[in-house]
Chains A and B, each alone.
Chain A
Amino acid sequence: MNHSDKKNKIQSKKMTSSKNNRSAPVNQKSQSRSKGAGLVKTQYYTFADPPGELILNNGEKLGPITLAYETYGRLNKNKSNALLILHALSGDAHVAGYHTKTDQKPGWWDFMIGPGKPFDTEKYFIICSNVIGGCKGSTGPSSVNPKTGKTYNLDFPVITIGDMVHAQRHLIDHLGIRRLLAVAGGSMGGQQALQWAVAYPDRVAGILPIATTARLNVQGVAFDVVGRQAIYGDPKWQNGNYLDNYTIPSDGLAVARMLAHITYLSEESMRKKFGRELQTRHEEADFITDFEVGSYLRYQGESFIRRFDANSYLYITKAIDYFDLAEEYGSLVNAFKQVEAKFLVLSFTSDWLFNTAQSKEIVNALNVSQKNVSFCEIRSSYGHDAFLLPNPVMERLVAGFINNLRN
């Protein structure tokens, strides 16, 4: 099939769907949405006003801090049904539902959160906040430094996964929740989940680290190093001060995203999605639009620069790379010594970035210290992205695990 055929097909698909919409207006849409988390609004919590700034891992102070967060479901009377969801590198607080009735896309983990879904909004109160250092409403390098009245840029202090979790704990305090029923997250969200277990052992009953690691392997670090170099090597980056000059290092950020996106897929999922298909065969020296996979990645890169800040990308990937519980506590076994929570650790067969070996490292350390841990390597061909896609085994495990925490 050549490109124009495909385009026609997509167009005809669009036409039929719009026809359907016309014959059954609004109703159909609202029905499918009523099964989900529904309409949500992002909320903001500001704390750590000077002189009570948050003391960061590196000793520096940061404040005031704003966290963007969303909640779903209802907090029960004794505040014992709260779940904290933690997002990955490019995620945000909008984990499920829609912001407006006309939104095209729901939150990033919509299939997991809602009435009757694994994170059941009829039983649980679900919280998700944007990490500090981020660019989706929480304080980060693109925020204005109240001391100078200018954008932080590289004056923003270096933050760690520990600092992100520390800030989240302030939000949980603010919501009046003493003990979370569970914290769950994939990838960098899983790193935060582990940090929660270790830093606040008496404040959470269940930990769900999914497709994650207690320390990223050197291969993963290497990809991040190249991604960061693409950004700071872009002349438009201007030592991080690009926002002051109303520009962004779009080329560098796009390349960083394209590279990272490859690591989120598996060879099999790429082969199934694109094969080696050419968009158009160029015998002349056109190097831009050959392979379908190329145009897909370019699209990913281009849409990313519209929604993500380059400096946030630098700060957050650095936090991911530096996270190392074993180094911090002498060994992973030591790190988990004080842990009280039950664990459900999940990995995916085709995830080569946060691979099963890294999950098993967590599981083994918990085993050695005789903690309550369950682990499953889930079959999937979608690579690291698998945790963001519907999967019956993952959904059943998560639902079953959380349900038992209540009893």
Chain B
Amino acid sequence: MNPKSKRFSDQIRLDLKIIADLIQPDSRILDLGCGEGELLAKLMAEKNCRGQGIEIKDENICACVEKGVPVIHADLDNGLNEYPDRSFDYVILSRTLQVVKRPDFILKEMLRVGSIGVVSFPNFGALSVRSQLFFKGRMPVTRNLPYQWFGTPNIHLLTIKDFKLFCKQADIRIRRQINLGSERRQGIWPDLIPNCFAHLAIFKIERNRHDHE
């Protein structure tokens, strides 16, 4: 690996590093809202994965193409109907669930076109978030949720509890849950009481397989 790409992969967001660790080598990956394609570039270079990104912003699409990451210009709110069932091993939705119009629909689509879904989102149940609303009586602005209420792309904020309850109701199996504290201090609290202390949660999910089917 050349020094430039080493530096690049060091700078990659912590949650993307953790997501990359969840992926088996030689997999087919679909990254929904892939941004500038950092995660896919890493997976393609280090794990010999075949990547495909979906992105809506043209400057991000340019950045992907410049990295050699295949990317399709599309709006996730229109679904993934151009992709056949089970055409990917993993479908990744990183910090994007809260910005789509129909999170339930996109989760269903993820698990239709992919065998395994990996979802990360900022936890609206974190104490730092709750306290801003509780004590200040104002919409929270944090490192993970950096926008004012009027300009935020985050239209479907959720807590870890909300997500787990949703999975139960939608017959989605959670294979793994990773709770991330603040960037500097991980500590034991995020794993003890995730819904209060995790700033960001990562879930590995799949459709429940019913033996009687």
Contact = CB atoms under 8 A, between A and B. Distances in A.
A391 to B, nearest CB: 10
Nearest to B72: A375
B58 A367 contact: no
B73 A344 contact: no
B79 interface: no
B64 A374 contact: yes
B70 to A, nearest CB: 5
A367 B62 contact: no
Given A374-B72, A375-B72, A403-B66, A397 B61 contact: yes
Given A364-B82, A370-B87, A379-B58, A400 B72 contact: no
B153 interface: no
Contacts of A404: 65-68
B28 interface: yes
A372 interface: yes
Count class of interface residues, chain A: 20 to 34
Contacts of A397: 61-62, 65
Contact of A393 (B62, B67, B70): B62
Interface string B38-69: 00000000000010100000100110111110
Contacts, number: 58
21 contacts: A344-B65, A367-B52, A367-B72, A367-B82, A368-B82, A368-B84, A368-B87, A370-B28, A370-B50, A370-B87, A373-B70, A374-B72, A375-B71, A375-B74, A376-B73, A377-B73, A396-B62, A397-B61, A400-B62, A404-B67, A404-B68
Nearest to B73: A376
B166 interface: no
Interface of B: 28, 50, 52, 58, 61-62, 64-68, 70-74, 82-84, 87
Given A363-B72, A404-B68, A376 B61 contact: yes
Interface string A62-91: 000000000000000000000000000000
A393 B58 contact: yes
Interface in A373-395: 373-379, 393
Contacts of B62: 376, 393, 396-397, 400
A393 B52 CA distance: 20
Given A393-B58, A396-B66, 11 more contacts: A344-B65, A363-B82, A368-B87, A370-B50, A374-B64, A374-B71, A374-B72, A375-B74, A376-B58, A376-B62, A404-B65
Interface string A206-241: 000000000000000000000000000000000000
A374 B51 CA distance: 11
B53 to A, nearest CB: 9
Contacts of B64: 374
Interface of A: 342, 344, 360, 363-364, 367-368, 370, 372-379, 393, 396-397, 400-401, 403-404, 407
Contacts of A401: 65
A396 B87 CA distance: 30
A130 B176 CA distance: 59
A232 B36 CA distance: 53
Given A342-B70, A396-B66, A400-B66, A378 B58 contact: yes
Nearest to B61: A376
Top 7 closest A-B pairs, CB basis? A400-B66, A404-B68, A364-B82, A400-B65, A376-B73, A396-B62, A375-B72
A375 B68 contact: no
A364 B52 CA distance: 13
A377 B74 CA distance: 9
Contacts of A375: 71-74
A374 B70 contact: yes
A367 B83 contact: yes
Contacts of B58: 376, 378-379, 393
A393 B74 CA distance: 16
Contacts of A374: 61, 64-65, 70-72
